[in-house]
Each structure stands twice: as C-alpha cells, then as structure tokens.
Chain A
C-alpha cells in the first residue's frame, strides 16, 4: 500500500495533465456552443503543453541558461540545468495553439454571420429546414 501511494505522489504531474486533457476532450465532444468547444480545444492543447514541460524538470536544477562565470574550459554539468528540449517543443505547440484558436474564432464569426447563432443544434435545424425548401 505504501509504495502505491509513493508512486502516485511521485508522478502527480501526469495525473494533472490527464485530468486537464479529459476536461478539454469532454468539452469538445459534449458541449453544444461552438465557443465552448473552442475553449475545450484550448484546454486540451494546454494540457499537452503542461505534460511536455513537466518532462524537462530536474530536481535541484536551474533554468537552462549557462552561467558566464564557468569560464571557457571547465566542463558544464548537465545535471545542474533543466532539460531545454521540451521547452523548445512547447514553444511550437503554444504557437500552434494560438494559430488554431485564431482560425477557429474566424470560423465561428463566419458561422455567426451566416446563421446568427452559435448553438450547434439550432444551426443544424436551420440547415435541415433550408435543405427541405430546395
């Protein structure tokens, strides 16, 4: 029992990102309003960013900027600095998140201009009535 609690505590960052991700996924699937779906999508992406960044952490290490006082020849001990790679990857993921958010909002505005509602069921009923008229 002891070691189970131990492992659960030692990996708490994974449980956080999984819950966040599931909230985002639920919002995207179940929510009816388009904007809520977009917000859910954003939570979903941010959860993955959190997951990646939490990989790079090393206990007792500082931010990955090499201190100048090391001079030029002493060996730099990597354990002192955090792993920079996840941060680089997540710079990309954040930018992708922003881009997708912008495009999704543009679509939402266009849908609103056309159907002047953002509730998916109302939009679908409008489409259905329109197809029956033709």
Chain B
C-alpha cells in the first residue's frame, strides 16, 4: 500500500470532496468530519512520501500504468516532498482552527464550503506532486476555481468585485502558462517535465524556448501576485471570509513559487535559467520593487488583514528575489522561506480570524486593549510578528539569514538593502499593532488599581491549533539546520554553484 502514497495523497481529498458535497445535501454536520478524516489521510501519505524520498532520493508513480512520456507521471523529489508536507499540514491545521467561524458565517452552505476546501487542497497537492506540465495546468485551474468560490463568498459585499478582478488576472496567468506549455510542446513534442528537460539542451539557441520560458514565468508571476501583477491580492484576501483567507493566503502564493522554482530547476535546467536567459538582474530588481512597495503600502493601511496582505506581497518578493540570485545560498533561502512563510502567514491570519470571530472586525480601532481581553491570541500574534520581523529563535530569521548571505555572495546589494528595509518596516508595522493592543482603550484613564475588563478569549478549538502553529514557528527555527542539510541541500541540483 505504501507505494501508492503519491496517488493517495491527491485522490483521498478529491473523493472526499464528492462525498462532502453529497453529505451537504443529506446531513450537514458530517461535512466537517469527512473533511478532517480526508485531510488527515492525505497528510499521513504526504509524510509517507517524504520518508520514502529521504530513503530512495526520488519516487515516481505512473498513472494508469503507462510509462512517462506517454502517460502522466508523478515525480516526487526532495523539493516537492517538503512542500507537500507543508501544504497538507497547513490545510489540516487551518481546517480544525476555523471550524467555529465557518459554522457561524456559512450556516446552511457548509457543504459547498467544505467541498471547495477539499478541492482547493486537492489542486494544491496535485500541483506540487505532478511531474506532467499539462496536468499542472489542469490542477492550477481547480485551485483557481475553488479559490474564486472560497474568496467570493466574503461577508461584506466588496468581496465579489475584488474576486472578479482576481478571476481576470488568474485566468490571464493560467492561459499564459498554458501558452508557454504549448510553445514547449511545439518545440519538444512532449509534456513530461523530465522528458522536456532532456530534449531542451539541444534547442537552447532557439527563440521559441526563451519565449516559452518568459511566458510561463509571466503566467506564474501573475498567479503569485509578483510585483507588476499584484493589484488583485490585497483586496481579494482582505474582503474574504476569515476561514477562506487563512487557507488561501499561506498556501497559494507559496505553491506558485514552488512552480516557478520547478520551472527554473527541473524543466529549464539551471544552465539555461541563469546563463542563457539573462534574467537574473532585472528579476531581482523587480523583487526589490515588490519588497519596498509591499512595505510602504502596508504602512498606509488602517486594517490588520489588509496590512498582512501587503506583507504577503513583500514576502513573495523575498522568495522570487532569493530564487533568482543564482547561487546556492539564495535558492536555499527561497525554498526555506516557502516553509517558513507558510507557517508565519498561517499563524498571523489565524490570529486575525480569531479577532474577527470575537470582535467582528479587525480594523486598528477594533484592536484596542486586546492584550488584556485576548491575551493568548495576541501572544501568538507576537510570536508570528517576531518571526516575520526575523528575530532569531523563530524561523523567519534563518530564511532571512540565507537570503541575505546569498545576496551578499551574488553581489546584489540592492536586495540586501531591500531585505533590511523590509525588516525595519515590519518592526514598525507589528509594534504599532501590538502597541494599540497593549494600551488600554483610550477611555479608561491610568488609575492605579482599576478593574481590568473580563478576559473573553476565542474558544479552545481555535486556540489550540494557533498554539501548535506558534510553537511550530520556533521549532522549525531551531531545526533549520536539519531541514537544510538533509532536505533542501539535496533539492537544489548541482548545476548551481
């Protein structure tokens, strides 16, 4: 049974999606439990695949029994083994944490919500595990569609328009990716990633291959809201319901970064990416723009969730810039940041979800005196904030460590300055929020022994997952050494020096 893990991890959530949709019509309470069982099963098989990868180096799985260039093949190596585990655990933890807020927001439509949730997770896991370029496009579409559904059903009415803009940009991105694959197909004749990689070296000279590379990149950048294409992300994630945004924010952009790295390292081997295509310098400059712009816009916001979305845009700049530095340290930093940023964003969005669940709003003036009213949630928020700022014991520091050393080795000093500027901006951003939460509501004057408001915390089912994530931030930070040496070092092909 264990050889079937790569197929199981995608099909279990897929089948559960249909069962949940049926359960939505027949007996609504079952939906959540089916979803939990399915995601737990898929998380278990993700860990199984990662263990197999650690033993054998890489795992292949032929769908339908056909050999690779003809049939579809799953190819799991160190890179996507790690991302698989991240996606499945984040989805499972988020599912459990947002149970109460989903029941409160979508009373009678819980069935469709969890169906879309299951399909979103299926799409993400499928993108990460597949070894076939066209299959990746199909799963991209599943993720996109379920994402539109989840984001579109936001509480306030602005969610619809912002999700429609997301739909336009998402479709343009997906179609550009499809076009890029088409260009590759014309020139190489195959759709399997490793097969293309073998055929391409002889064609490095042709303009079509360079065009395919640029078109695919533009498509993936549009999907991950990289700088020139980031317009849709802040509105789409802010007006969405808290459960949907805390699922999509940590995962979709990171999986798209994984797709970009897969494009750079596996399909177009590093030899092509960093030498034939002279893209490193301009892309790193775009990344610098993304980081600076993300930071500045985040400063201007008066709403917690909107501020967090601009920080995501900046973090995307980190990862893209890191990947394009062209040296081993930068790439390690980018891959490590996929793991760290998913955890950090999940922690901070779960906090926002708790606040919205209790205080019905997360604008800055709703946060007054929260340190006393919701100490545990704000405690987790402080840990998440420290991680995003990059304070040592937490994991954020170590990915910044690799990114900055990579930038120094590559001589991209603009990127180093941008990273430091962004850390300083994050300090101001998060301490502004902590300060608002810390100081009593303006009304109560500073009496010596005045009575503190009663502490009304979010329910336990929302707090325990939050603590697990916050503890995870520190644990991942402490075990960075093992993660890097045993997984990420081997994930980067030796084409990069």
Direct contact of A and B (CB under 8 A): yes
What 0/1 pattern do residues 55 to 71 of A give for CB contact below 8 A with B?
Answer: 10000000000000000
Per-residue B-contact encoding for A3-32, CB less than 8 Å = 1, 0 else: 000000000000000000100010010000
The B-contacting residues of A in range 95-134, CB under 8 angstroms, are 96, 99-100, 103-104, 107-108, 110-111, 114, 123, 127
Partner of B160, one of A21, A100, A111: A111
Specify the chain A residue showing the minimal Cβ separation from B163: A107
Return chain A residues, CB-CB under 8 Å to B172: 25, 28, 44
Cα–Cα distance between A107 and B145 once the two chains are bound (Å): 12
Q: A44-B175, A114-B157 are in contact. Are A52 and B182 (CB under 8 A)?
A: yes
Is B134 an interface position by the 8 A CB rule? yes
Could you say which residues of chain A place their CB within 8 Å of the CB of B174? 96
Interface: A51 (CB within 8 A) = yes
Return A83 CB to nearest CB of chain B, in Å: 9
Q: Which of A21, A52, A110 meets B152, CB within 8 Å?
A: A110
> Which of B148, B186, B191 meets A55, CB within 8 Å?
B186
Whether A100 pairs with B178 at a CB distance below 8 angstroms is no
Q: What mask results when residues 120 to 151 of chain B are scored 1 for a CB within 8 Å of chain A, else 0?
A: 00000000000000100110010001001100
> Does B148 contact A48, Cβ atoms closer than 8 Å?
no
13 contacts between A and B (CB under 8 A): A28-B172, A37-B168, A41-B168, A44-B171, A45-B171, A48-B179, A55-B186, A86-B185, A100-B167, A107-B152, A107-B160, A107-B164, A108-B164
A94 proximal to B (CB < 8 A): no
Q: Does B58 contact A (CB under 8 A)?
A: no
B28 at the interface (CB under 8 A from A): no
Asked if B428 is an interface residue, CB under 8 A from chain A, the answer is no
Which residues from A are CB-within-8-Å of B134? 89, 92
Asked if B262 is at the interface of the complex by the 8 Å CB criterion, the answer is: no
Leading 5 A-B pairs by shortest Cβ distance: A107-B164, A110-B160, A114-B157, A96-B141, A111-B160
Known: A55-B185, A114-B157. A107 touches B168 (CB 8 A): no
* Interface size counted on chain B using CB atoms at 8 A: 26
A111 contact from B145, B164, B171, Cβ within 8 A: B164
Q: How far is the CA of A85 from the CA of B139 in the complex (A)?
A: 18
Check B167–A51 contact: CB distance below 8 A: no
B145 in complex: contacting residue of A34, A41, A86, A99, CB < 8 Å: A99
B475 interface residue per 8 A CB criterion: no
The docked-state distance in angstroms from the alpha carbon of A96 to that of B175 is: 10
Q: How far is the CB of A18 from chain B (nearest CB, A)?
A: 10
A52 to B415, CA, bound (A): 40
A sample of 12 more A-B contacts (CB under 8 A), given A37-B168, A100-B167, A114-B160, is A41-B168, A45-B175, A48-B179, A51-B182, A55-B182, A92-B134, A99-B145, A100-B141, A103-B167, A107-B148, A107-B152, A107-B163
Q: List chain A residues, Cβ under 8 A from B185.
A: 55, 86
Whether B179 lies near A127 (C-beta < 8 A) is: no
Q: How many Å from the CB of A53 to the closest CB on chain B?
A: 11
| Alpha-carbon distance between A111 and B161 when the two chains are bound, in angstroms | 7
In the docked arrangement, what's the CA distance between A108 and B161, Å?
Answer: 8
Q: Is the CB of A104 within 8 A of B167?
A: yes
CB distance from B360 to the nearest CB of A (A): 14
Contact across chains for A103 and B145 when beta carbons are under 8 A apart: yes
Question: How distant is B21 from chain A, measured CB to nearest CB, in Å?
Answer: 16
CA distance A55 to B171 in the complex (A): 22
Which of chain A's residues 69-101 have a Cβ closer than 8 Å to chain B?
85-86, 89, 92-93, 96, 99-100
Closest B residue by C-beta to A110: B160
Q: What residues of chain A lie closer than 8 Å to B62, measured between beta carbons?
A: none
The yes or no answer to B100 lying at the interface (CB within 8 A) is no
Interchain nearest-CB distance for B172 vs A (Å): 7
- Give CA–CA (A111, B138) in the complex, Å: 28
B residues within 8 A CB of A51?
179, 182
From B134, B141, B161, B179, residue with most partner A Cβ within 10 Å: B161
